[in-house]
Amino acid sequence: MERGEGMELAEKVKQLPTSSGVYIFKDTAGEIIYVGKAKNLRSRVRSYFGEAAAQSPKVDAIQRLAVDLEYILTATEVEALLLEGQLIKKHRPRYNVLLKDDKDYPYIKLNLASDYPRLEVVRKLSRDKARYFGPYPNSGVVNDTLKLAKKLFPLRTCSDFRGKSRPCLNFHIRRCLAPCQGKVSAEDYRSMVDQVILFLEGRHQELEANLHAQMSEAADNLNFEKAAELRNQLAALAKLTAPQRIVTNQRWNLDVLAVDAGAELAAAQLLKVRGGKVLGNEYHGFEQLELADAGEAISAFIRDYYAEASLLPREILVSLLPEDTEALEEWLSSLRQGPVSLRAPQRGEKRLLLDMARANLASHMEADLREQRESREQGKAVLEQLAGALGLDRLPFRMECYDISHFQGSQTVASMVVFEHGRPARGDYRRFKIRDIVGPDDFASMAQVIRRRFEAAREGREGFNRLPGLVVVDGGKGQLSAALEQLEALGYGDINIVSLAKREEEVFVPGKSNPLLLDRDDPALKLLQQIRDEAHRFAISYHRRLRAKETLTSELERIPGVGPARRTALLRAFGSIQNLRDKDVAEIAAVPGMTWPAAEEVYKWFRKKK
């Protein structure tokens, strides 16, 4: 890659190369306002400055605000597509649309490195020998899917099945084949795992055909008990999948994506059609909505969603073909290791599927907009009460709260949580490790985190350049004084600041010796409590994670055969002793850099510790 920078915008546009890459527009403050990609950088960027381009509100805004341009050359348009996504997620430019973060979406994991794998719910994909299914839109959907799978297939559910003296209750009620007692061979168990994979992939007709063939074979071999089990399994499969809506007599396997982008809301509806049935109906929102357009939103959804998807269909129906359709198809095909096409059908059954997705999208967006408007109105009313109670001259639409957490002065951390319009803005939360402070000193720790946060703002660092209308610190007069001193020293003394003490819920404000005592039922106090409690939760969770890693590191240092590289890999994979203790040898051996003998040592070590 090459990066271009350092001359006037007009001159840069003239001298842009004709190869593929990513272009970055910046405003007078040096803030990135838009990131785009192009097969031909010069041609694409020039298009922003023609007369026809100004007909687009977004392009008009970029023309008015952009004073600088950077570019990064890439080898291919697909590489530019991926780099564009990384930069948008990192910098969150004002005029780029971005799919809401899906890091909390659950997956179902099936660890194929184990002879007797089980189904697990995880929140992150790992590069190992496991199969992942998802992402699922919420925990309810993933739990329902697991429940169906467990009714159909007697996979083990225990985290550790070795060394048990007798089978558990699940074996006696036919919900497990008792691999712990050697009652099923690895080959027979793997055959069942293959069926589970078909089920989780939505290939129900193929699964049904396989079960029918196995039942006939068992009957021909006079294995009537096996044939009866398969017959019952077929009946259960038919019963469980019957409620799924059949939308076409064609046994299509495809995704249907409808997107709408408006001034207040941009969202997508994704129907997953497998074997002609709707197996998934997901609603997703977008962030960074300023002047969003549907074509760019479709491209952003495909880029962000399918990068983490475990299974790609051969065909994706879209409500509008984006400009970068060719690059998206090439990238999706490389992920699937087979052809993937984007289509925008204008007639026929596939157009009816798109209409169904659009109707679902319109219904969800209407409900979402109604909820957002009601929430904003309620939030504004509470902010007005808060401003009145604290004597503020303007509504604190953005509030930041800081809390300190430590254990007897060790692993001291701080949290910064953000509320906008009275609601959490989790994408703006930040965590800090407190440096060079010995022992439990909450005043010095609070001073440090305030100094670091607002020094970052003064330097214009990304993620810190938006200032709050109100700063809330957890604590009393001491914490308030420490924070206020730093704000004034950095030139931010005009920012409103208060502290909230836990014991009596006293609100301290600068310049007043006595605290404000708000009524316990006052919505203003409840909002302050909510942001303070959220900051406390966020700080505690970070502190506990660091302590868990410290404890695990210490424990791993004592295990033979586990050096620094393997310790780091195990820390990244499991994060805590409890998570590692629950894994079997195969799961530990799947961690990069681990060998089977080293994994056995780790497994045995934690069994001794029980």
Q: What would the DSSP string read from start to end of 146-210?
A: HHHHHHH------S--TT-SS--HHHHTTS---GGGT-S-HHHHHHHHHHHHHHHTT-HHHHHHH
Give the span between the Cα atoms of 563 and 574, in whole angstroms. Answer: 16
Query: What does residue 29 show for φ and ψ, rounded to 5 degrees?
Result: -85, 0
Q: What is the pLDDT of residue 441?
A: 85
> How many other CB atoms are there within 10 angstroms of residue 432's CB atom?
19
Banded pLDDT at 492 (limits 50, 70, 90): very high
pLDDT number for residue 3? 44
C-alpha angle 480-520-485 in degrees, rounded to nearest 5: 5
User: 399-445, pLDDT tens digit by residue?
Assistant: 999 998 876 546 688 899 999 888 888 878 888 888 888 777 889 99
Q: Which helix (H) or strand (E) holds 352?
A: helix 348-390
Of 97-111, 208-222, 468-482, which has the strongest mean pLDDT? 468-482
Per-residue pLDDT at 101 exceeds 70: no
What is the pLDDT, as a whole number, of residue 161?
A: 66
Give residue-wise pLDDT tens across range 180-215.
Answer: 877 888 888 888 888 888 888 777 777 778 777 878
**Would you say 266 and 97 are in contact if contact means Cβ atoms under 8 Å apart?**
yes
pLDDT number for residue 577: 65
Mean local confidence (pLDDT), 136-144: 73
- Average the pLDDT over 79-86 and give the result: 90
State yes or no: pLDDT of 545 exceeds 70: no
- Eight-class DSSP state of 136: -
The whole-number pLDDT of residue 490 equals: 93
Instruction: Please give the average per-residue pLDDT across 329-343, as a whole number.
Output: 94
Check if the beta carbon of residue 28 is closer than 8 Å to that of residue 34: no
**Model pLDDT, residue 325:** 94
CB-CB neighbours of 142 under 10 Å: 21
Largest CA distance in the chain: 91
Nearest-angstrom CA–CA distance, 98 and 79: 18
8 Å CB contact between 352 and 346 = no
Can you say whether the dihedral through the CA atoms of 306, 255, 278, 319 is positive or negative? positive
Residue 248 or residue 206, greater confidence: 206
What percent of the chain lies above the pLDDT cut of 90?
Answer: 28
| Tokens describing residue 371 | 């909820």
CA distance 220 to 576: 52
Cα 477 to Cα 504: distance, rounded to the nearest angstrom: 13
User: Residue 155, Cβ neighbours under 10 Å: how many?
Assistant: 21
Q: pLDDT at residue 242 above 60?
A: no
Q: Looking at the predicted structure, is the pLDDT value of residue 69 above 70?
A: yes
Residue pair 184/177 in contact (Cβ under 8 Å)? The answer is yes
Q: How far apart are CA 582 and CA 605, in angstroms?
A: 12
* pLDDT value of residue 177: 81
Name which of 306, 271, 248 is nearest 125 in CA terms: 306
Q: What is the DSSP letter of 130?
A: E
The CA–CA distances, whole Å, from 131 to 120, 141, 197 equal 11, 18, 8
Average pLDDT, the chain: 82
pLDDT of residue 541: 78
CA dist., res. 524 & res. 526, Å (int): 5
- How many CA atoms are closer than 13 Å to the CA of 202, on its beta-carbon side? 22
Pairwise CA distance, residues 386 & 381, whole Å = 9
Residue 6 pLDDT = 42
Length of the chain: 610
Angle at 222 between CA 216 and CA 224, to 5 degrees: 75
| Residues 134, 125: Cα–Cα separation, whole Å | 10
Tokens of 3: 């990066």
Q: How far is CA 229 from the centre of its chain?
A: 40
- Please state the rounded mean pLDDT for residues 338-349: 94
Q: Report helix, strand or coil for 216.
A: helix
126 pLDDT above the threshold of 80: no
Task: Return the pLDDT at 5.
Answer: 44
Confidence bin at 62 (pLDDT 50/70/90): confident
Residue 320: is its pLDDT beyond 80?
yes
- Residue 184, pLDDT score: 83
The model's confidence at residue 488, banded by pLDDT at 50, 70 and 90, is very high
113 contact partners, CB below 8 Å, separation of at least 6: 128, 129, 130, 586, 587, 589, 590
Question: With contact defined as beta carbons under 8 Å apart, do 276 and 247 qualify?
Answer: yes
10 Å Cβ neighbour count for 491? Answer: 10
Those residues whose C-beta lies under 8 Å from the C-beta of residue 245, and which sit 6 or more positions away, are: 277, 278
Collapsing DSSP to helix, strand or coil, 534 comes out as: helix
pLDDT-derived band of residue 4, with 50, 70 and 90 as boundaries?
very low
Residue 68, strand partner residues: 26
Q: What is the DSSP pairing of strand 496-501 with strand 470-474?
A: parallel
**% residues pLDDT > 70 (the chain):** 88
Task: Compute the average pLDDT of residues 285-312.
Answer: 84
Beta carbons of 62 and 48 less than 8 angstroms apart: yes
Q: Which two tokens stand for residue 470?
A: 């109100």
Q: What does the pLDDT read at residue 543?
A: 62
Domains in the chain, ordered, with CATH? 3-96 (3.40.1440.10), 107-241 (no CATH), 254-366 (3.30.420.10), 398-539 (3.30.420.340), 557-608 (1.10.150.20)
Cα angle 184, 186, 188; round to 5? 65
Q: 144 versus 296: which is more confidently predicted?
A: 296
Q: Report d(CA 552, CA 155) in Å as an integer.
A: 30
Model confidence at 23: pLDDT above 80 = yes
Position 53 scores a pLDDT of 55
Q: Is the pLDDT of residue 448 over 70?
A: yes
Angle, helix 564-574 to helix 523-556, in steps of 10 degrees: 150
Band of residue 91 on the pLDDT scale cut at 50, 70, 90: confident
What pLDDT is stored for residue 102 in this prediction?
55
Residue 108 in tokens: 């179902």
Record the tokens describing residue 474, joined without a space. Answer: 């957890």
**Rounded CA separation 449/456 (Å):** 11
What digits encode the pLDDT tens for the residues 521-536? 889 999 999 999 999 8
Number of CB atoms found within 10 A of residue 543's CB: 22
Mean pLDDT for the stretch of residues 307-321: 89
* pLDDT score recorded for residue 226: 72
